Structure formats: structure tokens, C-alpha cells
């Protein structure tokens, strides 16, 4: 695990020190890129993270993106899981794809909710209108 005092590392330390039925050593990776000297894109990822606390748990790859302004304030943060391999060469592309997918899904649900479709009261949702 990387040394340092970021919030991510503190949260990871808490998670990895809990007693589970089996032990998993998680090693976080991180890379930063700065555009125009003002905006910093910070990527962090973990590979082969178990979804449950037992030996038969399916493993996934987790990644997080943070966008920081010139003052170092976080203006955007989101995380995603995938079964695709995550590494320094593709983490930015995977984060961009995750953001695009989130935006499409979010806009679709907002359209359904606000344009009269009422997806939560539709008969197919198990309720009568």
C-alpha cells in the first residue's frame, strides 16, 4: 500500500485491517496528470478486489477519478468497477468511458422522471398507476 496521508489511503487502511475470513493484500496504484497547469486529473485503482469477504468471491477491478482545480480542491469524484484490466496506460480511458456511461444513464432516468413517464409507478414496476 502506498505511504502517505490521503483520505483514500486512510479509508483503504481501515478496510484492509478488518478481520475477514480470508486475508487479501490490496495494493493501490495512482497517477496524476495536469492540463494547462490548472486542472489535475487523479486516477487511483485496485486490481482483483473481492466483492465479498469469502474465498469464493468474484473479483473486480476498481478505479476512481478525482478532478482538482488549481487550488487543489476536488471538483469531481467518482469510482467505477469493471472486469477489464486496469493499468497506467488505460485508466484514463476507462474513467472517461465510465463517466460517459454514467451521464447517459443519468440523463435517461431524469428524462423518464421529469417528462411524464413516471418509471417508478409504471405497471411493469409492480405498481398500478
Q: pTM, whole model, 2 decimals?
A: 0.64
Polymer length in residues for the chain: 129
| pLDDT tens string 22-63 | 445 566 788 888 878 889 999 999 998 888 878 788 999 999
**Cα dist. 25→4, 8, 16, 97, 127 in Å?**
18, 16, 7, 28, 45
pLDDT value at 70 more than 60:
yes
> Which of the two residues, 11 and 54, has the higher pLDDT score?
54
d(CA 37, CA 16): 35
Q: Do the strands 74-82 and 59-68 form a parallel or antiparallel pair, or are they unpaired? A: antiparallel
pLDDT at 19 over 50: no
Domain ranges of the chain: 7-119
For the chain, the straight-line distance linking the first and the last C-alpha, in angstroms and rounded, comes to 52
Q: What is the pLDDT of residues 78-113, one digit of tens each?
A: 999 999 999 999 999 999 999 999 898 888 888 888
Amino acid at each position: 500500500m502506498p505511504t502517505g496521508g490521503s483520505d483514500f489511503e486512510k479509508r483503504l487502511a481501515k478496510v484492509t485491517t478488518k478481520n475477514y475470513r480470508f486475508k487479501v493484500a490490496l495494493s493501490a496504484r495512482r497517477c496524476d496528470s495536469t492540463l494547462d497547469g490548472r486542472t489535475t486529473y487523479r486516477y487511483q485503482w485496485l486490481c482483483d478486489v473481492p466483492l465479498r469477504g469469502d474465498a469464493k468471491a468474484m473479483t473486480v477491478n476498481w478505479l476512481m477519478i478525482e478532478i482538482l482545480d488549481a487550488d487543489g480542491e476536488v471538483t469531481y469524484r467518482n469510482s467505477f468497477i469493471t472486469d477489464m484490466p486496469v493499468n497506467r496506460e488505460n485508466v484514463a480511458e476507462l474513467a472517461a468511458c465510465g463517466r460517459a456511461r454514467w451521464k447517459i444513464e443519468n440523463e435517461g432516468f431524469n428524462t423518464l422522471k421529469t417528462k411524464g413517464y413516471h418509471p417508478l409507478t409504471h405497471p411493469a414496476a409492480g405498481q398500478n398507476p
